[in-house]
């Protein structure tokens, strides 16, 4: 018996004072697809729009809340992920630590279901303020500095649990430049743009690391005489003949968790063999004869 609220895939998920928990890195022996084909499946990830703490900091880049996560989504590994650009979506309320309230958790689960993804990535731009020294000599010597301060959070879409979070702090040189308002290709070659690109690379690495050792999973959409239908297919590199685990989620105590979240018992229902694969969905058949009525819409299939 595993309590989904606390444990997921046998790994404790949660924040650690705003710092991502150390997990095996992508490409390490333990999670290397070349060593274990179960890790070769891609995972569906949605990158949401970023909240901005102070809009006055972004008058020269007013679309950064959407443009920045779009660039982050583009940088994520296509070998590891199916990335959904969801920069037009945003969490109304969020936190980059493990103290998630029930409404926030429910919002994460609902949004992940709407987007059809396993994981959500969200962020907040904390500070992009410009510091111009008042003293002329100091200004001539040091120039104008710009703070670059953001936090990133990675959430499990099934439970709303925080998987990893980290705060990223950097700086750039130069004053605000209104010619970069559309954040086109020329912006990314500026000093400010390059500082953001460095941060994007760091965040993409964090996401890849945090999710590298978690199994691919998908949601069962319905069950009929043809088999078990679920929302992952060739897009996650499934092939006919692949075997997946079947997990039924049994609610034990709705809203009974210590932070107001639902508590589930995961009950293994055996395994299945994928029989038919479509671009973004597939059908599987139970490996052993058993009652399909035990599986319902919302239960899950998992790589292991």
Domain end residue (candidates: 182, 211, 240): 211
Domain end residue (candidates: 156, 178, 211): 211
Clarify whether residues 166 and 223 are in a common domain. Answer: no
pLDDT in tens, 22-36: 444 444 556 777 777
Domain end residue (candidates: 168, 190, 211): 211
Supply the pLDDT for residue 46.
Answer: 97
Clarify whether residues 223 and 182 are in a common domain. Answer: no
Whether 192 is covered by a domain: the verdict is: yes
Supply the pLDDT for residue 109.
Answer: 87
Q: How confident is the model at residue 142 (pLDDT cuts 50, 70, 90)?
A: low
Whether 93 is covered by a domain: the verdict is: yes
pLDDT in tens, 162-176: 999 999 999 998 878
Question: Cα–Cα–Cα angle for 29, 34, 39, nearest 5°?
Answer: 80
Which residues face 135 on adjacent strands?
none
Clarify whether residues 289 and 167 are in a common domain. Answer: no
Whether 287 is covered by a domain: the verdict is: yes
**Which secondary structure element, helix H or strand E, spans residue 195, and what is its range?**
helix 191-211
CA–CA distances in Å: residue 225 to residues 114, 229, 242: 26, 10, 20
Whether 246 is covered by a domain: the verdict is: yes
19: domain CATH number is 3.40.50.10610
CA-closest candidate to residue 226, choices 287, 276, 270, 281? 276
For every residue of 214-238, DSSP letters joined together read SPPEEEEEEEETTEEEES--GGGT-
**Contact between 34 and 8 (Cβ < 8 Å):** no
Supply the pLDDT for residue 266.
Answer: 83
Clarify whether residues 197 and 258 are in a common domain. Answer: no
Q: Give the range of the structural domain holding residue 134, as residue numbers without chain letter.
A: 7-211
Supply the pLDDT for residue 21.
Answer: 39
Whether 2 is covered by a domain: the verdict is: no
Mean pLDDT of the chain: 82
Clarify whether residues 203 and 228 are in a common domain. Answer: no
Other Cβ atoms closer than 10 A to 148: 20
Give the up-direction half-sphere exposure of residue 122: CA atoms within 13 A in the CB hemisphere.
26
267: domain CATH number is 2.40.10.410
Instruction: Report which DSSP code applies to 57.
Output: G
CA distance 63 to 252: 44
| Residue linked to tokens 């075997």 | 243
pLDDT at 9 over 50: no
Whether 1 is covered by a domain: the verdict is: no
pLDDT at 275 over 90: yes
Number of domains in the chain: 2
Clarify whether residues 248 and 175 are in a common domain. Answer: no
Which residues face 19 on adjacent strands?
16
Clarify whether residues 168 and 265 are in a common domain. Answer: no
Clarify whether residues 15 and 62 are in a common domain. Answer: yes
Supply the pLDDT for residue 26.
Answer: 43
Q: How confident is the model at residue 263 (pLDDT cuts 50, 70, 90)?
A: low
Q: Residue 66 burial (CB < 10 Å; 0-12/13-18/19+)? A: middle
CA-closest candidate to residue 301, choices 224, 242, 213, 234? 242
Supply the pLDDT for residue 173.
Answer: 86
Supply the pLDDT for residue 242.
Answer: 96
Clarify whether residues 252 and 142 are in a common domain. Answer: no
Token readout for 144 is 């104008």
pTM of the model: 0.81
Supply the pLDDT for residue 93.
Answer: 62
Residues contacting 96, CB < 8 A, separation 6+: 15, 18, 124, 151, 152, 153, 162, 165, 166, 167
Average pLDDT of the segment spanning 204-210: 95
Clarify whether residues 15 and 126 are in a common domain. Answer: yes
Clarify whether residues 171 and 258 are in a common domain. Answer: no
Q: How confident is the model at residue 258 (pLDDT cuts 50, 70, 90)?
A: very low
Q: Is 260 helix (H, G, I), strand (E, B) or coil?
A: coil
């Amino acid at each position: 018996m595993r309590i989904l609220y606390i444990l997921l895939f046998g790994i404790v998920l949660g924040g650690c004072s705003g710092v991502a928990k150390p997990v095996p890195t992508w490409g390490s022996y333990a999670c290397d697809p070349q060593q274990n084909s179960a890790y070769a499946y891609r995972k569906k990830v949605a990158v949401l729009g970023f909240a901005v703490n102070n809009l006055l900091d972004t008058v020269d880049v007013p679309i950064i809340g959407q443009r920045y996560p779009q660039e982050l989504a583009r940088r994520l590994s296509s070998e590891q992920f199916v990335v959904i650009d969801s920069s037009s979506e945003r969490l109304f309320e969020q936190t980059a630590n493990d103290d998630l309230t029930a409404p926030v958790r429910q919002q994460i689960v609902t949004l992940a279901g709407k987007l059809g993804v396993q994981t959500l990535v969200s962020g907040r731009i904390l500070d992009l303020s410009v510091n111009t020294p008042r003293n002329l000599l100091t200004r001539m010597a040091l120039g104008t500095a710009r703070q670059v301060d953001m936090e990133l959070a990675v959430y499990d879409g099934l439970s709303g649990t925080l998987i990893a979070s980290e705060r990223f702090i950097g700086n750039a040189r130069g004053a605000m430049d209104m010619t970069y308002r559309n954040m086109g290709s020329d912006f990314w070659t500026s000093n400010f743009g390059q500082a953001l690109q460095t941060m994007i690379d760091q965040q993409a690495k964090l996401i890849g690391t945090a999710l590298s050792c978690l199994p691919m999973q998908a949601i069962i959409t319905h069950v009929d005489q043809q088999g078990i239908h679920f929302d992952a297919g060739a897009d996650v590199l499934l092939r006919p003949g692949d075997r997946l685990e079947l997990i039924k989620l049994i609610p034990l105590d709705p809203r009974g968790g210590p932070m107001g979240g639902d508590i589930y018992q995961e009950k293994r229902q055996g395994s299945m063999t994928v029989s038919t694969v479509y671009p973004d969905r597939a059908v599987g058949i139970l490996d052993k004869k058993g009652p399909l009525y035990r599986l319902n819409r919302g239960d899950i299939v998992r790589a292991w």
